[in-house]
Chain A
């Protein structure tokens, strides 16, 4: 079956531009997560949705980062006024049930964002 799909795979933007990254989770998965992965590092948690509700956004690095999942399926991560330090791979993951404990997460291939 289809896995987690992210688009675009690559995004290049100039400093100061706004970008939007899309995530299509596995159909029927309740929980959706966004991570930021810097080069040579592990993923770092950004935010978590249970259906359309954003239950945890403690990992968002600044108020320039905004995520939504209005219908409880597709999610968009938006970064406003991009800075060079925003350059990273942004990973989306979904899991079948509510909550985060004890559940494996299924990851997309990520969007590689480069800010010039």
Chain B
């Protein structure tokens, strides 16, 4: 069945460090891929998306590229800020949404 696997957290970085959160997927078709972010006590917010192979989604300095050959959608940011501290969820959408288990990011000043 369809599924998403994310790297386990927490990930702890210093401000201005480079961020990578790995995400791989398994799908029977050709899904759309998403990254959502969840701040404490809040619901999920869409961060970025990509709808087909080789698409790059980007928002607020975050980027992810839909890699069909490696079935991956890794999230990257060149310079993280304290305000980026949150839980990040990778998700695929074909007939329904499947979410990864989330990766908690802690950014220290």
Give the B-binding residues of A (Cβ under 8 A). Answer: 4, 6, 33, 35, 40-45, 48, 56, 91, 93, 100-110
Contact = CB atoms under 8 A, between A and B. Distances in A.
5 contacts: A43-B97, A102-B51, A102-B93, A104-B49, A110-B43
Given A106-B46, A107-B44, A100 B95 contact: yes
B43 A108 contact: yes
Interface of B: 4, 32, 34, 36, 41-46, 49, 51, 89, 91, 93-102
Contacts of B101: 40-42
A100 B102 contact: no
B23 to A, nearest CB: 11
A14 B15 CA distance: 44
Given A33-B97, A103-B93, 18 more contacts: A4-B43, A6-B43, A40-B102, A41-B101, A41-B102, A42-B4, A42-B102, A43-B97, A43-B99, A45-B98, A48-B96, A93-B43, A101-B32, A101-B95, A102-B32, A104-B46, A109-B41, A109-B42
Given A100-B93, A101-B94, A44 B99 contact: yes
A65 B36 CA distance: 26
A45 B97 contact: yes
A91 B44 contact: yes
A45 B96 contact: yes
A91 B43 contact: yes
B4 to A, nearest CB: 8
Contact of B97 (A6, A105, A106, A110): A105
B43 to A, nearest CB: 4
